Structures are given as structure tokens and as C-alpha cells.
Amino acid sequence: MSSPSFWRGKRCWLVGASSGIGAACARELARAGAQLAISARSQDSLDALRTEFSQGAQDPAPNAHLAVAMDVRSDESVAVAWERIREAWGGIDLLLYLAGNYVPARSWELDVGRARDILDINYLGALRTVSCVLPSFLEAGAGHIALTSSVAGLRGLPKSLYYGPSKAALTHFAEILRLDLEPRGLRVQVIHPGFVATPLTAQNDFAMPHLLQPEAAAQLLLRGLEGRSFEIHFPKAFTRRFHWLRCLPYSWYFPLIRRATGL
């Protein structure tokens, strides 16, 4: 359960909030008393989620929650969404980037157009969104940026031809933000989930160890945001293995992964 004392009144912009972990985080934050701006491509899905928050609250304040549709692949769409939020609230306290896409693929299936689309959502969309909020965070000398990457971004994995490199770039981006922005009063965190049951992971035709439901993943993610660690990773019984694998030399890593996956 998220801490109401931490979240009450915090202005949180969740990007990629219409389903999966994003929607579960939004519901949990609403229960904890945060103000939410939820964004995704589908206005209908966002409106339905915002209605849930309003029904669950007693005498909700005007603009307590905002449903702002946008496409993270478009500079203009992201900029317009940010202006709507800033006009309503004056600014935000937390940007939580959860938008992502995944298509399993092997190297012989390489399609540059598909790679470009996934990179645009998983990585460039985060850059677009951060670039909007960063000036106001720097001016205030405060703000919180959290980017949802994946354990698939920690090392190369079979069937992660497009997804893995996009998430590796996002992790690298978060590390640089942390180095640059922490001395200026900003908080930056990166999130490395394991397998979570969503329509994206439903595409997988292999066993997914320690598979989490979105609600459980959301609680672990938000608990991590309440802490001070740069990296949030879960479930630890699974993700700790990737931290160990990250340290292995290639001469050990490649045979181990081939043997473990059978690919």
C-alpha cells in the first residue's frame, strides 16, 4: 500500500497510464491522495479511468485529476499536453514515464520501420516528455523524474531485438540525468521491472518466471518512488539475477543465456 502521507497533494503526471502498470499506478496514487494527470493515446480510456477516481473520492476538487490524451511520438502532441497540465496546475512534482511497446523478434526478422516505431515510443517519447518538464524543474530547483525501463535493457536477450536496445538507451539516459540533475535538487530514478502480465507480455511464447500482476507491480514501483535509491527493480528474486548476469564476461554470458533459454 502506498503511503498517503508521502503522496497526498503531489501533482503527478503519468505517461502511458491507460492500461497495465500505468493504470494500476494511477489507481493506487488516486487512493493515496495524489493529484493525477494521466496521458496515453486513447482519450476514451483515460476518461474512463478518471471517472473511477472521481467516483471514489468525496467532493473531488476541480482539476484534481486530468485526463490529457497525447501521442509520445509527436513533439507537438507532447508539448500541447504539457501546456494543458501547466495551465491547470502551474506545474508538477513527479513525471512518471510508463509508455512502452514491445514486439518479440529475432535478428533475422529485423525490420527498421518497426525498430524505429518502438524506439520512438520507448526512448524518444521519454526525451520529449522530459524536455517539456525539465525547465520548470530546474527553475524551481526541485522535481522528480522516474523512467520505466526493463531488465531487458540490462543485457542483450533473445527475442528482444527492438525492445532491449530501446530500454538500454532509456536506462543510460536516466543515469546521465541523475549525474547532471541531482546536484541541482532534482530526483531521478529508473525502474527495471521483470515480467508483468500485460497485453504486451501476452505475446511471449516462453515461460516468464515470477510473473507479476499489474497491481502488485504498481505497489512495488510506487514504494520504490517513496525511497531514495536510483534504481527500482522487482521482483527481486528475479531481477537480482540480471544484476549478476550484467557482471559476467561475454565468454560466460552467451553460453549461459543460450543454455537457459534454449534459443
What residues are labeled active site? 163
Q: What are phi and psi of 164, to 5 degrees?
A: -60, -50
212 bridge partner residues: 196
Name the CA dihedral angle for 149, 19, 240, 182, rounded to a multiple of 10 degrees.
40
Here the cell at position 162 is 527492438
Q: Indicate the pairing of strand 231-234 with strand 11-15.
A: unpaired
Find out whether the peptide bond into 235 is cis, omega within 30 degrees of 0.
Answer: yes
- 153: helix, coil or strand? helix
Tell me how far apart the alpha carbons of residues 98 and 15 are, in angstroms, rounded to a whole number: 6
